[in-house]
Amino acid sequence: MTTPQMPDATPTRQSFDCAWLLTDPGAAPAQADVRVAVSGGRVASIDALEALGAAVTARRLLALPALSNAHDHARTVRSATLGAFDQPLESWLPYLGLAPGVDPYLCAATSFARSVRHGVANLMVHYTRVQGGMPYVDEARAVARAASDVGVRIGFAIAMRDRNGIAYCDDATVLKALRPGIRDVVAQRLSVKPMAPAQQLALVDEVAAMVSEGGYGDHVTVQYGPAAVQWCCTPLLEAIAQASADTGRPVHMHLLETKYQRAWSDAAHPGGIVQFLDSIGLLSPRLTLAHCTWARADELALLAERGVTIAVNTSSNLGLKSGIAPLPEMLKQGCRVAMGLDGMAFDEDDDALREMRLAYSLHRGWGFDTTMTRDQLWGFAARHGPRSVGGALRSGGRIEPGAPADIVLLDWDALDDDALFSDIDPLDLLLARGNGSHIAQVLIGGRSVVEGGRVTGIDETALRAELLARMRAALSSDVSSDAASASWRGTVQALSEDLAPFYRSGHFGGCCD
C-alpha cells in the first residue's frame, strides 16, 4: 500500500490576513480586512489590519468556520458507479454490496480526504464494514489511522442490527414475495445472522479501548450505532439505551427516512415510534437521529424536549426519492438540527458548501416568508454537527478567541469574480455561489489539512488510484469477489424489481414486532 505523507501534525502559531471574516455567519456581521492569529490549535486573536498598520497584500481570502457533516458512512464508491442511480432507498441498499471488499485504510482515507477538501472538520461515520476478512477492531483501527492522517475528527458509530435483512419484515416473509430463482442466494447473502445484544455492546467497548490505547482519541469518538428500529429488536435497543446512560457514550441511529418506514412504524408501534423510543430511555441529548424525513410535529416536539439532535440529509433524501424533511417544522418545534451529507451529496462529491446552499434554498421560505434564518442555517451547517460527532462537550461553528481553529479560507477574488461593488455582504455571495472549488485552505484544530486544493496528510491521488486498481482487479479476476460477481449483480437488479410491488402493496406493514 502507498505510504501516506505524514507532515508534522502539531499546530504552530500562524496568522491569516483576510479581506473578509465571517466569525459567526448569520449572527454576526462580516468583518473586513482583519488578521486571524492561530496558536496551539485555537484562535488566538482577531485584529483589524488598520490597527496593526497593515493591509491585505497577498491573495485575498474569505475566512469562515469549518462545516460539519453530522451523518455519513464514509463510503468511497459513489452509488451511481454501482448502477444504483434512481433507486429508492429500499432497493438501493443491496447495490452497495456490489463493491468488492478492499483495504479499509484506503477506503476511509480517500473518503475523508474528499470531505476535508470540501470544508468539513467534523464528520459523523455510521460505519458498515468494507472488508470482512479481518477482525472488526483491526478494521476500525485502519479507519482511525486514516482519520488521524487526514486530520479530520470523526464520530465512529459501530453499526448494530439483529433483524430484517432484506426488507422491513422478517426475512422468511419477504423471501416468499421474490421470484423463486433468486430466493436462495438472496437469503444466503442478505438474511441477518443475529448477534446477542451483549456481544454487540462488547464490540463497541473493544473499539473504544483500541481508540484510547492507540492514541486516536483526538480524532475518533466511538458511538453506538443501532441501524434503525426496523432493523433492531427491542432488547437490543434497550441494551443500547442503558449502555449509553451508563457510559455517556453517544448514540447515532436512522429514523423515519422514507414513507415505507413511516408505514412500518405506524403498524409496528401504533402508540408512536418516537414515544416508544422515549419509553425505553433512548431519547436523550446523547442521541442523534438521521433523517426524520417523515416525522410529525408532535414527534418533533418530543425530540426537542429530550434534547435529541436531528441530522437532515437534503441531497440524500432527494437522490433516494425519500422526500423533503420538514426542517422548518423542526426549527419551529425547537429541535437541534444539523447537516448531514450521507455520502450522497447532490453531485456525489461531498461538497458541504453546496449541500448547505441547497438546504437553505429549500427551507428558507417562499416569497416574503422566512422559515429558516441565516443564523439557523449556520447552526445547521456548522454549530450543531460537532455535538453529533464528538459528544455534548464538542463545540464549533464560530471563529473567536479561544475557539478551536477550524477554519475554511476561500479565494475571495474567485468567489467575487465580477466584483462590481465593494460592499456586497460576503455571506450573500457565499450562499449564492460558494462551492468546494473556491476553497484555498482548511485548518482543523490549527493544523493545515488542505492547501491549494490538496490534502496535506496523505497523497490522495495515489491512494485513490491504488484503491481503484485493487477494486478493478478484484472485479476482473477469475476468482472475483462474490459480492461483485456478475451473477450477484443480476440478482440485485431482480431483487430491486421484486421489492417495488412488495412495498407498494403495503404488505410489509403487517410485519410488526
pLDDT digits (tens, 9 = 90+) for 448-464: 999 999 999 999 999 99
- Spatial distance between the Cα atoms of 295 and 71, rounded to a whole number of angstroms: 17
Residue 261: pLDDT band (50, 70, 90) is very high
pLDDT digits (tens, 9 = 90+) for 110-163: 999 999 999 999 999 999 887 777 999 999 999 999 999 999 999 999 999 999
Q: In this predicted structure, what is the pLDDT of residue 512? A: 55
Helix/strand/coil for 128:
coil
Residue 485: pLDDT band (50, 70, 90) is low
What does the DSSP assignment read for 267-282? HH-TT-HHHHHHHTT-
Beta-carbon contacts of residue 294 (< 8 Å; ≥ 6 apart): 256, 257, 258, 259, 261, 262, 323
What mean pLDDT do residues 348-361 have?
97
Nearest CA among 67, 155, 17 for reference residue 384: 67
For cell 410489509, what's the residue? Answer: 508
The DSSP code for 57 is -
Q: What mean pLDDT, rounded, does the chain reach?
A: 93
pLDDT digits (tens, 9 = 90+) for 175-228: 999 999 999 999 999 998 889 999 999 999 999 999 999 999 999 999 999 999
Q: In this predicted structure, what is the pLDDT of residue 55? A: 74
Distances (CA, A) of 482 to 106, 189, 425: 20, 10, 55
What mean pLDDT do residues 59-64 have?
92
